[in-house]
A and B are shown apart, each in its own frame.
Chain A
Amino acid sequence: MALNTPAVNVPVAWRLAALRLGGFPVIPTAILASIALVAILAEVIAPYNPEIGTLGDRFRPPFWQVGGSEAHLLGTDHLGRDVLSRLIFGARVSMVVGFTAVIFAGVVGTSLGILAGYLGGWVDQVIMRVTDAWLAIPALTYAIFLAAIVGPSMWNVVIILAVVYWTRYARVIRGEVLSLKERDFVRLAIVAGCSKRTIMKKHILPNVLNSAIVLGTLMLGVVIVTEAALSFLGVGVPPPKPAWGLMLSDGKKGMMAGYWWLTVLPGCCIMLMVLAANLLGDWLRVKLDPQLRQL
């Protein structure tokens, strides 16, 4: 019986290699790296053109099932396109959209967060009120709204996601900056006569970079899921480009007939990528700054 938790003396149970704190998460990083590799080498790896299919070859199941063939390892979709190739090229879409959106959102959000936090006053008020108002709309709804205005295209999606998600950075970074402002090295810089711009660039920015990176990895998963949702609903990456979300929406059509691979496989890919990003983000969060556990 202990004074504080745990009340029950429980032996430390096994931990997945990926979940162990302090131990480098080999598996998630390997997964992300592989997906990135696949995305880069898509043209080389993919057996077929993902956008063109043979109508006579529709709805072939994966090779291990009856009716499947080794010509199409993971089957074909409703237009006869090779699923494996589409998954491979879809990785490229997810990676590009995911990383670019996260970086854009990060740059904008961090800058505004630093400005709001450091300059304070009306700049802070304006930026924060806007952030609060924008955060009131759920990301997905907001993204759908913007997509309805500008129409579906891959780069539109990137911009939309950046616009929707920068607010999350701004909030967190601003908080960090507020506490950094009180630290001695910043005060010394002010006393030494550095301009505001120099302080923000040389002293504040490097110190918030950690949080920005951690937030970035955590956001990666969220962004990818949102992109998949947008494509699923038809306002994201437009056909015939192979996006995993789009494949899910196509797959829905064949579901009632039992063509399970068109639904399960793209979803598995999404899940894998998001899982890896989340695990990596979790590890980074604990590693880089235990204070960020609150995130």
Chain B
Amino acid sequence: MKQYILRRVGYSLLSLVLLSITIFLFVRVTGDPAVLLVEPGASKADLDAVREQFGLDRSLVVQYGTFVSSLLHGDFGKSFYYRTPVLELYLSRLPYSLLLALAGMAFSLLIGIPTGIIAAVRVNGWWDSAGKIFSLLGLSLPSFWVGLVMILFFSVYLGWLPSSGSGTVAHIIMPAFALGWYFAAAHMRLTRSSMLEVLGSEYVKLARLKGLPEALVIGKHAFKNALIPVLTLAGINLVIMINVAIVVETVFAWPGIGRLLFEGISFRDFPVVQAIVLLCGTMIVVVNLLVDILYAVIDPRIRLER
């Protein structure tokens, strides 16, 4: 198992390096990076000062070096708008995004997994067809539109739920639903196909031959095996949820990092945008690594591999 972990860590580091290079190069590829790194409405003197500060006239390699070293020191730049270090801003908003993502994930699993299981056990039945339609809609409806329609319906027409902000449970219901909707469909699909595959396996056949009650066959033998790929996906999706929530957060004015990104692009606050993308990529790489390691620990097949 050690070998496996070391290899995975190596890959992750490589990915992080490539990521930083990519972002670094993209910023510099479009003519004059100083324009981006400076406040909107700056004078020529300001531009020159920025060039000086970031060493934009030096060679790319040197620039990259400074770039990486400041990142490793936790310096992700300063927001023009808020006049605070971006990292601070990011960390203060992260809990909100995490909360929303957890709520969205809970919703998507609570709906997705049972529906997927029933669809598989009663394949080609009514439930399965309904599930197929649901999954199709889930994958086709943009999450922000779902959010908008929900606001229209529940806030404007019915007046039941608040349309923006955070603070109470009522505030999180709609955003969580809008965010989790797409993933519920994805999880349902995966649960269904995974369950079908497991139900067709030899060990399930044997379980039936043993005369085990159907509930045990499905609940014990099939369920655990079928769930492995789904939970793996869910783990990865959680992190993705945190990061793609930007549109949902914007629609509902939810104060997470997605909304921070939106503010960044609205106010042309480039350091914020760059930092968020970097942190986002880093988070995903790290979480993928952790999920792989966790998987290795749980699955006895990998754990006991020498």
Q: Do A and B come from one complex?
A: yes
Residues of chain A at the chain B interface (Cβ within 8 Å): 1, 3-8, 10-16, 19, 129-130, 132-134, 136-138, 140-142, 144-150, 221, 225, 228-229, 232-235, 248, 251-252, 255-256, 258, 260, 263-264, 267, 270-271, 274-275, 278-279
B216 to chain A, nearest CB (A): 12
CB pair B208–A3 under 8 Å, yes or no, is yes
Cβ of B230 under 8 Å from chain A: no
Given contacts A13-B129, A271-B140, 10 further A-B contacts (CB under 8 A): A7-B214, A8-B121, A136-B284, A136-B288, A137-B281, A144-B273, A149-B36, A233-B265, A235-B265, A278-B136
Choose from A3, A10, A263 the contact partner of B122 (Cβ within 8 Å).
A10
CB pair B22–A134 under 8 Å, yes or no, is yes
Q: With a CB–CB cut-off of 8 A, which chain B residues contact A4?
A: 199-200, 204-205
CB pair A140–B244 under 8 Å, yes or no, is yes
Q: With a CB–CB cut-off of 8 A, which chain A residues contact B208?
A: 1, 3
CB pair A233–B247 under 8 Å, yes or no, is yes
**Can you name the residue of chain A whose Cβ is closest to the Cβ of B146?**
A267
**Can you name the residue of chain A whose Cβ is closest to the Cβ of B196?**
A5
CB pair A19–B265 under 8 Å, yes or no, is no
B32 to chain A, nearest CB (A): 11
User: Which of B12-20, B66-74, B88-96, B100-108 contacts the other chain?
Assistant: B12-20
In the complex, what distance in Å separates the CA atom of A5 from the CA atom of B208? 11
Given contacts A142-B277, A256-B156, whether A6 and B19 have CB atoms under 8 Å apart is: no
- Complex A-B: 18 CB contacts under 8 Å: A5-B196, A8-B122, A129-B14, A136-B19, A137-B284, A141-B261, A144-B277, A148-B270, A148-B273, A228-B142, A233-B250, A233-B265, A255-B156, A256-B155, A258-B156, A270-B142, A274-B140, A278-B140
In the complex, what distance in Å separates the CA atom of A19 from the CA atom of B148? 28
Q: With a CB–CB cut-off of 8 A, which chain B residues contact A141?
A: 243-244, 246, 261, 276-277, 280
Interface string of B17-48 (1 = CB under 8 A from A): 01100110011001000001000000000000
Q: With a CB–CB cut-off of 8 A, which chain B residues contact A140?
A: 244, 246-247
Secondary structure at the A interface, as helix, strand, loop or mixed, is helix
Residues of chain B at the chain A interface (Cβ within 8 Å): 11, 14-16, 18-19, 22-23, 26-27, 30, 36, 120-126, 128-129, 132-133, 136-137, 139-142, 144-145, 148-149, 151-152, 155-157, 163, 196, 199-200, 204-205, 208-209, 214, 217-218, 240, 243-244, 246-247, 250-251, 261-262, 264-266, 268, 270, 273-274, 276-277, 280-281, 284-285, 288
CB pair B15–A129 under 8 Å, yes or no, is yes
**Can you name the residue of chain A whose Cβ is closest to the Cβ of B258?**
A141
**Can you name the residue of chain A whose Cβ is closest to the Cβ of B33?**
A149
Given contacts A14-B129, A137-B281, whether A233 and B246 have CB atoms under 8 Å apart is: yes
Q: With a CB–CB cut-off of 8 A, which chain B residues contact A148?
A: 36, 264-265, 268, 270, 273
Q: With a CB–CB cut-off of 8 A, which chain B residues contact A145?
A: 23, 26, 273-274, 277
Q: With a CB–CB cut-off of 8 A, which chain B residues contact A7?
A: 121, 199, 214, 217-218
Secondary structure at the B interface, as helix, strand, loop or mixed, is helix
Q: With a CB–CB cut-off of 8 A, which chain B residues contact A267?
A: 141-142, 145, 148-149
CB pair A150–B265 under 8 Å, yes or no, is no
Given contacts A129-B18, A149-B26, whether A10 and B125 have CB atoms under 8 Å apart is: yes
CB pair A264–B123 under 8 Å, yes or no, is no
Q: With a CB–CB cut-off of 8 A, which chain A residues contact B285?
A: 136
Q: With a CB–CB cut-off of 8 A, which chain A residues contact B284?
A: 136-138
Choose from A3, A229, A255 the contact partner of B151 (Cβ within 8 Å).
A255
B95 to chain A, nearest CB (A): 19
**Can you name the residue of chain A whose Cβ is closest to the Cβ of B214?**
A7
CB pair B140–A221 under 8 Å, yes or no, is yes
**Can you name the residue of chain A whose Cβ is closest to the Cβ of B148?**
A263
CB pair B156–A138 under 8 Å, yes or no, is no
Given contacts A8-B121, A141-B246, A141-B261, whether A133 and B18 have CB atoms under 8 Å apart is: yes
In the complex, what distance in Å separates the CA atom of A265 from the CA atom of B275? 36
A251 to chain B, nearest CB (A): 7
CB pair B152–A263 under 8 Å, yes or no, is yes
Choose from B126, B163, B200, B262 the contact partner of A256 (Cβ within 8 Å).
B163
Interface centre among B133, B149, B214, B268 (most CB of A within 10 A): B149
Interface centre among B18, B137, B151, B204 (most CB of A within 10 A): B18
